[in-house]
């Protein structure tokens, strides 16, 4: 069934390297986040560990509401605290502890070494300023350059994101542009200072199908040119297969499986991942719900004590009801959060 | 943009016509015979008849209306029955006083209301926010006359800091003019600053939640830039409109304040005219106020469009 997915993983030789975390640009360990007012001991993001190596791409996939955006925003220091609260774990970016920085240090880093683009291009630009000014502003914030040099740089960015008539577009307001164009502006803005890490949170979900492919290939091309690392959050497994080096699958706030793109697609181990793969052909290149697995993510009040996937899992038994499984390594650089992984051994073959 | 303004002015014309009819008709409903007022002690029927004839008070009301309105269109608002001074002249001499008071009050209201609203929004849920809200609520509920009298008693009578009443034209003594205007403008401005504060607060709260604020933070902008540039600039769009409309209300609110501080402005003119049944003056003043209101509405709409790039280009 995986044959339906075009597997263009860029290189196989990186397998495992990023996961050891030795040359990791970003390393997140046991990150847990909760929201005030939510039931105690149910974290929206729970025990998330992931890492991204220089120049590599990590794809974060999972059903809507599983905590992908919250994870990403926390790494950018953009999570409103309160109501959000980082209750555990650490995140290191190039050796610096992201959660122990002052507000000022975080601001110095944002839009400079790290950058983010969002799910909602239509509302992410300030309606009262021209797009040119909005890009220039970000450059002037982090670079000691003159206004005209910043404008020159902004113009160059507009060219790089293939905006037609860039000189004219500098003066345009966001409402004069389509969603795809606005997302290009967001990308230009994010990359203007040459970040080492780009976090792209479902950058194409809100766009037309035809535009989606253009934006993804643009992001990929810009990544190749600049050598930046990327965390791409997406629902689109076709895109994952195309550009991921590593994949992390999230379910209900936890990473349930992580590994190189080859391992995840060729040899998925967690029942949830297997379910996702099963639903790929029906999705194709369209954005859509991953959940063709029966049932839905339980709400926080009803979160199972044991494995969070238990109510929907075809293999679940008593142990899954009582004990939460750990994220255990199956082969080097490939781990799954399931008592019965690898399933071939424990359950005698799937599919 | 110019076409938009022209269109709005055209739309305003029927409104002004309706207002003029209303003004004229309501006038007829006021109790008391103006001729008796005019004649003073005189009760000679011949004199009364002469006066009726002179001011055409016996013509049918529609005839009186058209006679009056055609004169109005030529800039002639009639002559004060009481003082024999042209109404337009009276209005033009009193209006600047009231406008000065209103501008003064507006500046005070903006200077208090907008920063307070921004701070309350940014510090939402903290003691600062609660304090600002409590003060705003009291500002809204304290009647102007009470605050005015209180201020006069404290500031003028007890501390002798500012004059209690009177008015000095700025051309005569600018400093004294400011001193006499300070208290009335403050009284007039406080209620306004309270509603400005509350509107600024809620506009800011809405804006601060929006995605483009998150983008501004993602660029690494410092929080004062995010708040004062990205958020406030957007929150001000509705506030500009509101302020313009409130300015119209200020002119109306000035009536009472001018009475308390005995300032010879528009408010005093209209109160005196009503008491004296000075028809022509009342008509002129009400008509001017109505036109002023409509003009403020027009200005509010235009400013809203100007502040809003999306609309600015659509026109
Ligand atoms: N401000 C908030 N207050 C309370 N709960 C929140 C808040 N923001 C997010 N959540 C909760 O956190 C959970 C994770 O949300 P998140 O936005 O990270 O999901 P996601 O994986 O990005 O989903 P999607 O694919 O729809 O973008 C959701 O269940 C959501 O209800
Ligand atoms: Mg999301």
Report phi then psi at B8, rounded to 5: -65, -35
User: Distance between CA atoms of A326 and A324, rounded to whole angstroms?
Assistant: 7
Q: Distance from B16 to chain A by nearest Cα, in Å?
A: 34
Q: Distance from A137 to chain B by nearest Cα, in Å?
A: 8
Question: What pLDDT does residue A17 have?
Answer: 39
Nearest-atom number in ligand 1 for the CA of A63 is 25
Lowest mean per-residue pLDDT among A26-35, A161-170, B283-292: B283-292
Question: What pLDDT does residue B98 have?
Answer: 87
CB contact under 8 A, B219 and A141: yes
Domains of chain A: 1-113+196-295 (3.40.50.300), 125-194 (no CATH)
Collect all residues of chain B within an 8 Å Cβ-Cβ radius of residue A115.
218
Question: What pLDDT does residue A292 have?
Answer: 57
CB contact under 8 A, A127 and B230: no
Does the structure show a pLDDT above 70 at B47? yes
pLDDT, tens only, A68-120: 999 999 999 999 888 888 988 899 998 889 888 888 999 999 999 999 999 99
User: Distance between CA atoms of A317 and B108, rounded to whole angstroms?
Assistant: 71
Residue nearest to atom 8 of ligand 1 (CA): A70
List residues bridging with A117 in a β-sheet.
Answer: A200
Question: What pLDDT does residue A19 have?
Answer: 45
- Confidence band (pLDDT; 50, 70, 90) for B296? confident
User: Distance between CA atoms of A17 and A78, rounded to whole angstroms?
Assistant: 29
The answer to whether residues A25 and A341 touch, using CB atoms and an 8 Å cutoff, is no
Q: Which ligand is located closest to the Cα atom of residue A291?
A: 1
Nearest-atom number in ligand 1 for the CA of A73 is 18
Tell me yes or no: is domain B90-276 CATH 3.30.70.2190.
no
Q: Distance from B128 to chain A by nearest Cα, in Å?
A: 17
Residue nearest to atom 24 of ligand 1 (CA): A64
Question: What pLDDT does residue A92 have?
Answer: 92
Q: Which ligand is located closest to the Cα atom of residue A250?
A: 1
Within 10 angstroms of residue B56's Cβ, the number of other Cβ atoms is: 11
- Confidence band (pLDDT; 50, 70, 90) for B30? low
Does the structure show a pLDDT above 50 at A290? no
For chain B, domain boundaries:
90-276
Question: What pLDDT does residue B282 have?
Answer: 83
- Confidence band (pLDDT; 50, 70, 90) for A142? very high
List residues bridging with A328 in a β-sheet.
Answer: A336
With a pLDDT cut of 70, the percent of chain B lying above it is 95
Report phi then psi at B113, rounded to 5: -65, -45
Instruction: State the Cα torsion A233-A237-A238-A244 to the nearest 10°.
Output: 50
- Confidence band (pLDDT; 50, 70, 90) for B272? confident
Collect all residues of chain A within an 8 Å Cβ-Cβ radius of residue B219.
110-111, 137-138, 141, 189
Collect all residues of chain A within an 8 Å Cβ-Cβ radius of residue B211.
118, 120, 123-124
pLDDT, tens only, B156-212: 788 878 887 777 887 888 888 888 888 888 988 888 888 899 999 999 999 999 999
Q: Residue B212 is nearest to which of A109, A115, A126, comparing CB atoms? A: A126
List, in order, residues 6 or more apart from B243 with CB less than 8 Å away. B106, B109, B110, B196
The answer to whether residues B19 and B69 touch, using CB atoms and an 8 Å cutoff, is no
| C-beta pairs of B301-305 under 8 Å, 24+ apart in sequence | B301/B8, B301/B241, B302/B4, B302/B5, B302/B8, B303/B240, B303/B241, B303/B244, B304/B237, B304/B238, B304/B240, B304/B241, B305/B1, B305/B4
Residue nearest to atom 26 of ligand 1 (CA): A64
Q: Distance from B314 to chain A by nearest Cα, in Å?
A: 10
A66 lines ligand 1 (CB under 6 A): yes
Does the structure show a pLDDT above 80 at B311? no
Question: What pLDDT does residue A11 have?
Answer: 40
A170 lines ligand 1 (CB under 6 A): no
List, in order, residues 6 or more apart from A32 with CB less than 8 Å away. A43, A45, A46, A47, A48, A86, A87, A88, A89
pLDDT, tens only, A315-343: 778 888 888 888 888 888 899 898 887 76
Does the structure show a pLDDT above 60 at A2? no
Chain A interface mutation, best of B215, B227, B231, highest count of A Cβ atoms under 10 Å: B215
What average pLDDT does this structure show over B40-61? Answer: 75
The SS3 assignment for A238 reads helix
- Residue A45 CA, ligand 1 centroid: distance in Å: 9
pLDDT, tens only, A279-289: 544 433 434 44
A299 lines ligand 1 (CB under 6 A): no
CB contact under 8 A, B218 and A126: no
The answer to whether residues A221 and A170 touch, using CB atoms and an 8 Å cutoff, is no
Is the pTM of the predicted complex or chain greater than 0.90?
no
ipTM of model: 0.84
Q: Residue B309 is nearest to which of A111, A175, A190, comparing CB atoms? A: A175
Mutate to test the pocket of ligand 1, among A31, A33, A35, A74 (most ligand atoms within 8 A of CB): A35
A–B interface: beta-carbon pairs under 8 A: 77
């Amino acid at each position: 069934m995986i044959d339906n997915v075009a597997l263009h993983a860029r290189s196989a030789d990186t397998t495992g390297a990023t996961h050891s975390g030795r040359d990791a640009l970003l390393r997140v360990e046991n990150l847990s986040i909760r929201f005030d007012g939510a039931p105690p001991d149910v974290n929206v993001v729970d025990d998330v560990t992931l890492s991204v190596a220089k120049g590599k791409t990590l794809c974060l996939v999972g059903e809507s509401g599983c905590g992908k955006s919250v994870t990403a925003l926390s790494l950018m220091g953009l999570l409103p605290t309160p109501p959000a609260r980082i209750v555990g774990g650490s995140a290191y970016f190039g050796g610096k502890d992201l959660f122990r920085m002052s507000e000022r240090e975080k601001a110095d880093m944002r839009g400079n070494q790290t950058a983010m683009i969002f799910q909602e291009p239509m509302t992410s630009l300030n309606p009262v300023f021209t797009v040119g000014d909005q890009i220039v502003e970000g450059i002037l914030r982090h670079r000691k350059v003159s206004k005209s040099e910043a404008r020159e740089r902004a113009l160059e960015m507009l060219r790089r994101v293939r905006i037609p008539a860039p000189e004219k577009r500098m003066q345009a307001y966001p409402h004069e542009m389509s969603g795809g164009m606005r997302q290009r502006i967001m990308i230009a803005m994010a990359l203007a200072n040459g970040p080492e890490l780009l976090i792209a949170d479902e950058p194409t979900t809100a766009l037309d199908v035809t535009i989606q492919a253009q934006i993804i290939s643009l992001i990929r091309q810009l990544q190749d040119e600049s050598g930046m690392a990327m965390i791409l959050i997406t629902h689109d497994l076709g895109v994952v297969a195309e550009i991921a080096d590593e994949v992390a699958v999230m379910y209900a706030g936890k990473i349930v499986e992580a590994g190189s793109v080859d391992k995840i697609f060729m040899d998925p181990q967690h029942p949830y991942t297997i379910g996702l793969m099963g639903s790929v052909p029906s999705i194709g290149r369209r954005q859509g719900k991953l959940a063709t697995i029966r049932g839905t993510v339980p709400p926080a009040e009803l979160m199972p004590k044991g494995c969070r996937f238990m109510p929907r899992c075809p293999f679940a038994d008593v142990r899954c009801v009582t004990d939460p499984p750990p994220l255990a390594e199956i082969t080097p650089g490939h781990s799954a959060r399931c008592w019965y992984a690898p399933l071939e051994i424990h359950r005698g073959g799937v599919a | 943009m110019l076409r938009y303004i022209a269109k709005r002015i055209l739309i305003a014309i029927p409104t002004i016509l309706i207002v003029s009819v209303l003004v004229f008709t309501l006038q007829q409903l006021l109790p008391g015979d103006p001729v008796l007022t005019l004649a003073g002690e005189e009760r000679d029927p011949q004199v009364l008849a002469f006066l009726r004839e002179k001011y055409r008070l016996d013509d049918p009301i529609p005839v009186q209306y058209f006679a009056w309105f055609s004169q109005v269109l030529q800039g002639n608002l009639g002559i004060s029955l009481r003082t024999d001074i042209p109404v337009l002249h009276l209005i033009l001499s009193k209006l600047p006083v009231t406008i000065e008071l209103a501008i003064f009050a507006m500046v005070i209201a903006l200077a208090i209301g907008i920063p307070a609203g921004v701070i309350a929004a940014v510090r939402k849920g903290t003691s600062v926010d609660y304090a600002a809200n409590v003060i705003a609520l009291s500002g809204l509920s304290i009647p102007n006359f009470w605050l005015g009298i209180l201020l006069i008693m404290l500031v003028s009578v007890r501390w002798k800091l500012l004059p209690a009443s009177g008015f000095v034209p700025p051309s005569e003594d600018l400093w004294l003019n400011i001193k006499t205007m300070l208290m009335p403008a403050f009284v007039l401005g406080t209620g306004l600053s309270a509603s400005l504060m509350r509107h600024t607060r809620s506009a800011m709260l809405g804006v601060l939640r929006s995605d483009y604020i998150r983008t501004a933070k993602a660029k690494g902008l410092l929080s004062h830039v995010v708040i004062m540039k990205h958020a406030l600039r957007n929150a001000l769009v509705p506030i500009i409109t509101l302020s313009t409309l409130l300015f119209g209300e200020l002119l109306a609110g000035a009536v009472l304040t001018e009475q308390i501080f005995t300032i010879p402005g528009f408010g005093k003119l209209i109160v005196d005219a009503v008491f004296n049944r000075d028809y022509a003056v009342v008509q002129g003043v009400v008509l001017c106020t109505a036109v002023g209101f409509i003009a403020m509405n027009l200005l509010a709409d235009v400013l809203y469009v100007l502040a809003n790039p999306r609309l600015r280009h659509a026109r």
